[in-house]
Amino acid sequence: MGREHRCLKGQGIGHSVDGGFAEYVKLSAFSAVKVPRSIPFEEACILGCPIGVAYRAMKGVGQLHAGETVLVTGAGGGLGSHSVQISKALGARVLAVTTSSHKVEALSRLGADHVLLSPGLDFHWEVLALTEERGVDLVVDTVGSLVFQPVYESLGQFGRWVLIGQLEGQNVSFNPAIFIFKDLSLLASSGVGRKDLRACVRLVQGGKLTPQVTAFPLEEAKRALELLGQRQLLGRAVLTP
């Protein structure tokens, strides 16, 4: 069915199989994609996740078109910082939400047309002001339930909402009528297939996307995780055993 991003028998390294911190891993040849020498290993590490994951969510599932306005939540994170760049590469106007003041400048550099610094997560007021009260066409949501209400308020008529992250475990409750009256589409996306992964290799090779990665030696794995938990890093952390 062309849905190779989701193998029903697949086991994710670091999810259901150990080895996420290892120097070598064994994979089926099917899962291998050639990486050109011009892309360093540290950057290549994140081509699949989060870069490919963000690409598939925006282009394949979210059907993002040039000229549309997109909102990215958790913009300073692994998925978020690459969603910002991919939206820009696809010709969209990009509104990036961050809770971290130290990431604002970098997010503008990565292509965000507007960076919404919103530690209180009440960013919908700013979104509406920036869209002449219309709201956005697409939301790529990497944060989940914590931002359910402001994301809903930020969406325009016929808006598409692609869920790709859920940072905390809470449920949300909503009245289905609010989706009906706005003609909203609630979508979700996980993983990436080889076709989209190859497209991401080309984006990086062509200079349209710069992988945002901080490398740490294996001995500093704990520090890397702490820094991620404190939202200090822009993009992803990679361990170099």
Ligand X SMILES: NC(=O)c1ccc[n+]([C@@H]2O[C@H](COP(=O)([O-])OP(=O)(O)OC[C@H]3O[C@@H](n4cnc5c(N)ncnc54)[C@H](OP(=O)(O)O)[C@@H]3O)[C@@H](O)[C@H]2O)c1
Task: Give the interface with ligand X as residue ranges (CB under 6 A).
Answer: 49-50, 53, 74-80, 98-100, 103, 121, 142-143, 146, 164-167, 189-191, 228, 231
Minimum CB separation of residue 140 from ligand X in Å reads: 10
Whichever of 191 and 211 has its CB closer to ligand X, that residue is: 191
Shortest Å distance, C-beta 99 to ligand X: 3
CB-nearer residue toward ligand X: 52 or 156: 52
Q: Which residue's Cβ lies closest to ligand X?
A: 77
Q: Which residues of 77-103 are buried (b: 16+ CB within 10 A; e: fewer)?
A: bbbbbbbbbbbbbbebbbbbbbbbeeb
The distance of closest approach from Cβ of residue 48 to ligand X in the complex, given in angstroms and rounded to an integer, is 9
Q: How far is the CB of 129 from ligand X (least distance, A)?
A: 20
Nearer to ligand X by Cβ, of 12 and 91: the residue is 12
Instruction: Give 103 or 160: the residue with its C-beta nearer to ligand X.
Output: 103
* Residue placing its CB nearer to ligand X in the complex, 79 or 204: 79
Supply the minimum distance, in Å, between the C-beta of residue 22 and ligand X: 19
Shortest CB 157 distance to ligand X, Å: 26
DSSP letters for the chain:
---TT--TT---BTTTBS-TT-S-----GGG-----TTS-HHHHTTIIIIIIHHHIIIIIIS---TT-EEEESSTTSHHHHHHHHHHHHTT-EEEEEES-GGGHHHHHHTT-SEEEE-TTS-THHHHHHHTTT--EEEEEESS-GGGHHHHHHHEEEEEEEEE---SS-------HHHHHHTT-EEEE-----HHHHHHHHHHHHTTS----EEEEEGGGHHHHHHHHHTT-SSSEEEEE-
- Of the pair 57, 184, the CB lying nearest ligand X is at 57
